[in-house]
Amino acid sequence: MTQLKLDLSNLEDAFPANFSQEQIAKAKTLFLKRLAEVAHRFYGGKIQTAPKAGVFGFNWFNIWYTPGVSKISTTIRDNNDASFELSNRGNLVAVISDSTRVLGDGDVTPPGGLGVMEGKAFLMKYLGGVDAIALCIDSRNANGENDPDALIEFVRRSQYSYGAVNLEDISQPNCYRVLDVLREECEIPVWHDDAQGTACVTLAGLLNAIKLANKKISEVKIVFLGAGAANTSVARITIAAGADPARMIMFDVNGALTTDRADFRDDPRWYRPWELCVRTNPQKIKDIEVAMKGADVLIALSKPGPDTIKPAWIRLMADKPIIFACANPVPEIYPYAAKEAGAFVIATGRGDFPNQVNNSLGFPGILKGALMARARKITDEMAIAAAYALAKYAEKKGINPSYIIPKMDEADVFPEEAAEVAMQAIKDGVARKIISYEEAFDWAKRDIEYSRTMFQSMIDTGFVKEPPLNMLQEALEWAIQQVA
């Protein structure tokens, strides 16, 4: 068994030689969860607050605070938009959740979402050069029910402290109302990453996957497994990008979405799924095996696997089948099993497999672009522009069945994505600030390089300490014992 390196680049070689692929996949998941717990305990979380202005002598306190700061308050009073330039608001995102639908773990109580929300903030800073704050809100009313209006009211009242809001991990159907109301009523962009972010990155991967299969988006037959906020948004954005809704069939735990679904039809809170009941599956196919016959693409954002997607379904699909198995933390089918069943392209939400379709490729660049343009909202067209930017970046590098979308460590993709989003914001008429593509690209690149240099400097100078290697090794050995 190989001793782990700090960067975990040899993780694949660290498991016993007699382990099967299924055992390695299970042990890897357990290892990552175990290490996450001990590493978060070691650091006490992963985000801190630090000033970006200097103290060059005692009198600088009088500039950063009273009496000098009075001028900042009155200037903003007379022109609220000055807050984007005179405070950190112009580069600050609030990551807001009621923690009712966190990953595959469901309702984890308000503070239970902090790990994910801090993770979003961490990635925004490192990948997009954007500052962020994690805010987990108790949205329960006196009856213990989660009230979407509580979230709406909180965001509406606090919006003047941030340049944008990233909604996260809000259960359905509340998530639909929260997003749609806030998008229209707030003066800053409100983005639901589970919905719009997932849709953007999935579309980017889909564009390149169907290109490799020599197919057209307007002609492919797509089956969706799962009808939550993520997959309903994927379907809606994919239709907006040119897919034919008549060639789409969506399933949830209660079966296929059709106009016969009274549960969606009769409850106005479920208006997003009902729209897809009306627009898709005109033949009212209700059996998933029938739906999978001749399907070109299966997009799953449903129950964690690994047995949610059956290999037999993949064998029913058309030539060069494309599988997106994006449940977290365990995909609906492991990539090796999908390949054995004949999958041409297999994508998951995990970075330890090829083709990671993860929101982290989307939200740092999209929010950076929106902030640079001082956008009032993020339109669907801005999300589609980001998807095309991601797809084109990967295509320039050379796409293949194991590389349909950029990786998180390809830093150059984020300035391109941010610049395209800023340009689309201007085109859509939602930008307060008009800048050129070159200005946006250079601005984003400069901020991202600053963030990454700061991260590395903190490690080099010991302000961020390296975790002990035995901590990694103990987590690995524990995971192996659980699976052996």
**Active site residues per annotation:** 65, 120
Q: Starting at the earlier edge strand, list the strands of the sheet with 131-136.
A: 131-136, 92-97, 164-167, 190-192
DSSP 411-432: TTHHHHHHHHHHHHHHHTT-BS
- The CA distances from residue 188 to 92, 156, 157, 307, 371, in Å, are 11, 10, 12, 42, 9
DSSP 148-169: HHHHHHHHHHHGGG-SEEEE--
DSSP 67-116: TTTHHHHHHHHH-GGGHHHHSGGGGEEEEEE--SSBTTTB---GGGGHHH
Q: Is the N-terminal amide bond of 189 cis, ω within 30° of 0?
A: no
DSSP 5-54: PTT-TTGGGSS-TT--HHHHHHHHHHHHHHHHHHHHHHHTSS-----SS-
Q: Which two tokens stand for residue 142?
A: 């006196």
Q: Is 207 helix (H, G, I), strand (E, B) or coil?
A: helix
Q: Tell me how far apart the alpha carbons of residues 293 and 162 are, in angstroms, rounded to a whole number.
A: 48
Q: Tell me how far apart the alpha carbons of residues 208 and 390 are, in angstroms, rounded to a whole number.
A: 10
Helix, strand, coil percentages (3-state) for the chain, rounded to 5, are 50, 10, 40
Which of 287, 285, 294, 275 shows the shortest CA–CA distance to 236? 275
| Residues paired with 167 in a beta bridge | 96, 192
